[in-house]
């Protein structure tokens, strides 16, 4: 399973990278300066995880201690600035990796909460928070209503992923690696299908 773990590390940084790109693009569109772009990129990439770590008592938060995340966010910001025309054409790949980041953060967020000895509800709620927290902070900082609360099935996919991790943890039917993989694929697949078919949750507006 060692290969699987290095795969996870790679995917974790890939998720961080893509979330950072989405933050940098939004910040650039708002005409923030160099520091502002890096700050928003880092916030989107690490904000959800930092809130999770504060809530489960993992002090200091991994997003602040592990330089991999900061460097990844800075590289993503640099790329967004230097290759903006290219990044703009990346719409589909960005959505693809964003869905991957969402799934991965939901799974690892729920796992880390369980690993710190917290209960099922904490794990599900903080799995969702890890996955969507950064995007919500981005929208708060850029002064708009968080997109994820309006869009196609997004946070709900994270909910499903976190739920599978928690169910697997308590039923112990499969090893935790297999459960993670299933949760990851389910969340990722649901998000891609929702994007493709424009599935939405009902919104009850008249």
Phi-psi region of 73 (alpha: psi -120 to 50; beta: other; left: phi over 0): alpha
> Of 100-108, 133-141, 164-172, 178-186, which part binds a copy of itself (CB under 8 A)?
133-141
Three-class SS state of 90: coil
Helix (H, G, I), strand (E, B) or coil at 154: coil
Q: Which residues contact 108 (CB under 8 A, 6 or more apart)?
A: 8, 12, 130
Angle subtended at Cα 127 by Cα 6 and Cα 137, rounded to the nearest 5 degrees: 105
Cα 36 to Cα 80: distance, rounded to the nearest angstrom: 13
Among 10, 84, 178, 197, binds a copy of itself (CB under 8 A): 84
Q: Does 61 participate in binding a copy of itself (rule CB under 8 A)?
A: yes
Q: Which of residues 21-50 bind a copy of itself (CB under 8 A)?
A: 27-28, 30-37, 39-40, 50
- Minimum distance, C-beta of residue 174 to a copy of itself, in the bound complex (Å): 25
Q: Which is nearer to a copy of itself, 8 or 69 (CB)?
A: 69
91 binds a copy of itself (CB under 8 A): no
Is there binding between residue 79 and a copy of itself (CB under 8 A)?
no
Q: By the 8 A CB rule, do 130 and 124 touch?
A: no
Instruction: Summarize as ranges the residues that interact with a copy of itself (CB under 8 A).
Output: 27-28, 30-37, 39-40, 50, 54-57, 59-61, 64-67, 70, 81, 84, 113, 118-119, 121-122, 125-126, 136, 140-146, 148-151, 155-156, 159, 200-205
């Amino acid at each position: 399973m060692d290969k699987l773990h290095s795969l996870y590390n790679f995917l974790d940084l890939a998720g961080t990278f893509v979330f950072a790109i989405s933050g940098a693009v939004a910040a650039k569109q708002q005409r923030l300066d160099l520091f502002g772009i890096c700050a928003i990129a880092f916030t989107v990439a690490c904000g959800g995880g930092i809130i999770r770590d504060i809530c489960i008592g993992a002090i200091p938060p991994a997003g602040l201690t592990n330089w991999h995340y900061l460097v990844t966010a800075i590289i993503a910001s640099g790329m967004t600035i230097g290759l903006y025309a290219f990044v703009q054409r990346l719409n589909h790949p960005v959505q693809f990796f964003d869905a991957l980041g969402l799934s991965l953060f939901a799974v690892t967020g729920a796992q880390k909460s369980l690993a710190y000895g917290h209960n099922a509800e904490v794990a599900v709620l903080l799995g969702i928070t890890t996955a969507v927290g950064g995007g919500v902070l981005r929208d708060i900082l850029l002064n708009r209503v968080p997109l994820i609360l309006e869009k196609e099935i997004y946070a709900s996919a994270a909910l499903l992923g976190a739920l599978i991790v928690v169910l697997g943890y308590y039923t112990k039917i499969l090893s935790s690696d297999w459960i993670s993989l299933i949760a990851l694929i389910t969340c990722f697949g649901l998000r891609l299908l929702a994007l493709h078919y424009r599935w939405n949750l009902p919104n009850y507006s008249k």
